[in-house]
Structure formats: C-alpha cells, structure tokens
Amino acid sequence: MRRVWLYAAVVAVGVGAATWLAADASMGASDTAVFLTWGLGSAAVAAAVAAMLLRVLRHARLGVQAGIAALAPVLAITVALLGTGATMFISAHDLRALLVVTVAAGTVGLVTALALGERVAAASQSLGDLAQRIGDDGVAGPQDAPTRAGGPSELVGLRDELEAALQRLAETRELAAAAEDSRRQLVAWVSHDLRTPLSGIRAMVEALEDGVVDDPETVARYYRTMGRETDRLAGLVDDLFELSRIQAGALNLDLEQIALDELISDAVAGVSIAAAAKGVELRGEVASPTPVVELSISEMARVVRNLLDNAIRHTPRGGTVWVDAELGDDRQTALVSVRDGCGGIPAPDLPRVFELAYRGDTARTPGDGGAGLGLAVARGLVEAHHGEISVRNEGQGCRFTIRLPLAPAAG
C-alpha cells in the first residue's frame, strides 16, 4: 500500500508540473489536454511493453532487464513526440530534429543502463558466491574470496553481512570440531579412569569373598584401598556433574561476602591430610587488608581445593605448595594464587591446561593424572563469578592465579 501511494504521489506531482508549465507558456486548455493525453498515454503504452518484455525475459541477466527498464521512458517520449508532432508542430523538420536528439540520447541512456546493470549483476554474483561458500562444508581462505564488486548500497551491505556470517560460521565450525574432539577424549579418558578402579575394587571384593585374603593386615589394607578408590570415583562423578551444570548454564550461585583468609584456611584444612600423606608441605599467606569478595562459598572453595589437589599431586615428596591472597594492582580485584613445585609446564601446553580432559603427557594411571576435569571445572566456576583464571611457569613449578572482583562494599 505504501508503494501504491508513492506511485500516485509521483504521478500527481508530474501532472501538476506539466500543467503549470503549460499555463506558464500560455497554452490553451485544449492544447494542454492533448499534450497530457499523449504524454500519459504513451507512457502507459511504454510501461506495458516494458512489463511484458520483463515478464518474458524474467530469467535473463540483470543487465538486460536494466536495459529494458531504461528503454521504457525513451519509448514513451518517442511515441509522445510522434503523436503530438503530427498536429502541433509547425515544421516537419523540427519534429525530425527532436526525434534525432531523442534517439541519440536514448541510445546513450540504454548503453549506460546496460553498464550499470552489469555492475549490479556483478554485485549479485558476488552475493551468490558468498552464499555458496556458506553452504560448503569446507572453509575457504582469503585467496578463495570472490572479487568485491561495487553496486547499490543495499547489495554492498548484504554482501558485508554475508561475509560476517561466513566468518562466524567458520569460527563456529572450528569450535564445534574442537568440542567434538574434546568430547571424544573425555569419553575415552573417563572410561579409563572409571574402568581401572572398578576392576581393582571388583578384584579385591572377590578376593575377600572367596577367602583368598584372610590375614587382618591385608584385609584392612584392601578395605582402605577400596575406600580411597570409591572416594576417587565419587569425586570424578562430582566433577562430571559440575561440568555439565557449567556447560548447560544451570549454575545457581548463592552469593555471599567473605574474606579470602577464611576461604583459604578452609581449603587448606580440606587437603592437609592428602598433603601430609604425600609428604608435601602446605604454606599460606593472606595480605593485609584481607580482600573481601562476593561469591558462592561452596563453589569457590571447590575451585581452590581443585588447584591445591592438582598442586599436591604434581609436587614431589618434600616439596612445598604455596597459596596466598592479595589485592590486585588495580585495587578493584582480589588475587588468589597457588604455586607448586611440579617442575613447570611445557610452553606449548600452557594455553591448554584448562581445556576439557587435557592432561598433557602425564601417565594415565589412576591417581597420577586425574581425569583432566578439575582445571576445566575450576575455569568454569571462576568465569561464572565474572573472574579470570590463568597459569604461568615460575621458579621450579607453576603458579595458578584467580582474579575476582571485590565485593561492592569493599570496593
């Protein structure tokens, strides 16, 4: 409906302008009516012919259709001149002169329309090439990109949008491929970490049931081993559950304000037995004033415990694990760091330590490398608190650093 009103407005303005010009030239009413009739009638005939040609050639190239559209007004003017010239022009010579000028100008206009149509066609072809690349499975490189042809702003804008969509699609495919590869590794590694302790527990249970082991010391050792393996399996299941909640965006964080010295002391107390059994010394320090943050205590305590467990596991007997907290240099964040004596992480592995199921070159023996979930869970929980976690080599080991925003009241 808006288009109909636009066309009607154009016609009204054109007729009004023609009428004003006729009045300004002191034409009579009859002459004005003849000119308007021939002008409007010839334009209608030209429009009908052009519409018919466009319908017949609707599958032709865009340049050809643009030429037909440009030919319509030339045809309308020619017909109007022929109709009015027979009765209104004094000299046949003048009429022929006008026709010569009209044909010459129309020829140039037609060539111009064809040239402009080719530009639009080239821009449309570039859009087609981009659409085809979006549908391809492979990701084309910059050298495969179509030539950036000019054209109307609408087509140029659409082409830019398609190029951006192609780039986003390529990135999404890369992420999907990486996620699929990570999922396969996770299934393989978790299956191994589940199968091995379950096989050990089954063997010990069968030995106890069959009476193969009956001396009290060995029986007690079997029970202790089964208890450790059961705890380890429970921890693995907890990590998987937590990771699924993180990836599904289903974390419900119960935020509270807490001083970091409390969080660290609770985490250290939770891993002190494991550190003593490994022969690793735990040391902690919290700078003054103690940073106060707003977080889910249970979730962030899990993060610190995961980092401490990881540090204790990879620090040799007689080594030391440090954990400390302080204000960041910007005075708007709090830093929690865990430093171990693992000997350092190879530089190529540093960017990947937080990837799902990544364990580097550690052995896949239960208790040595874990399932590769602890650091992935830690990163997910830290990011859920709008924080960051990073790692770098330092001294004879590596340092994991958590950066968290301070609580509003403490900022």
Query: Is the pLDDT higher at 259 or at 152?
Result: 259
Rounded to an integer, what distance in angstroms lies between the CA atom of residue 51 and that of residue 340? 80
Contact 81, 34 (CB under 8 A): no
Residue 139 has pLDDT above 80, yes or no: no
Q: What is the pLDDT of residues 30-44, one digit of tens each?
A: 777 777 777 777 777
Q: 330 phi and psi, to 5 degrees?
A: -80, -5
Three-state secondary structure along 208-248? HHCCCCCCHHHHHHHHHHHHHHHHHHHHHHHHHHHHHHHHH
Query: Is the pLDDT higher at 76 or at 202?
Result: 202
Q: Strand, coil or helix: what is 318? A: coil
pTM: 0.51
Nearest to 309 by CA among 232, 234, 250: 232
**Crossing angle of helices 260-278 and 297-314, rounded to 10°:** 30
Kind of pairing between the strands at 320-327 and 333-339? antiparallel
Q: What is the pLDDT of residues 78-134, one digit of tens each?
A: 777 666 666 665 566 666 666 676 677 667 666 666 666 666 666 666 666 666 666
Query: ∠ CA(98), CA(103), CA(105), 5° rounding?
Result: 95
How many C-beta atoms surround the C-beta of residue 69 within 10 A?
15
Q: What is the mean pLDDT of the chain?
A: 76
Kind of pairing between the strands at 333-339 and 397-405? antiparallel
The pLDDT score that the predictor gives to residue 185 is 67
Query: ∠ CA(147), CA(151), CA(153), 5° rounding?
Result: 120
Kind of pairing between the strands at 388-394 and 281-286? unpaired
Q: What is the pLDDT of residues 364-405, one digit of tens each?
A: 333 444 556 778 888 888 888 889 999 999 988 999 999 999
Contact 309, 368 (CB under 8 A): no
CATH topology for the 253-405 domain: Heat Shock Protein 90 (3.30.565)
Domain locations along the chain: 2-135, 253-405
How many C-beta atoms surround the C-beta of residue 246 within 10 A?
18
What average pLDDT score do residues 159-183 get? 75
What residue type is 73 in one-letter code? P
Nearest to 270 by CA among 303, 229, 243: 303
Q: What is the DSSP letter of 389?
A: E
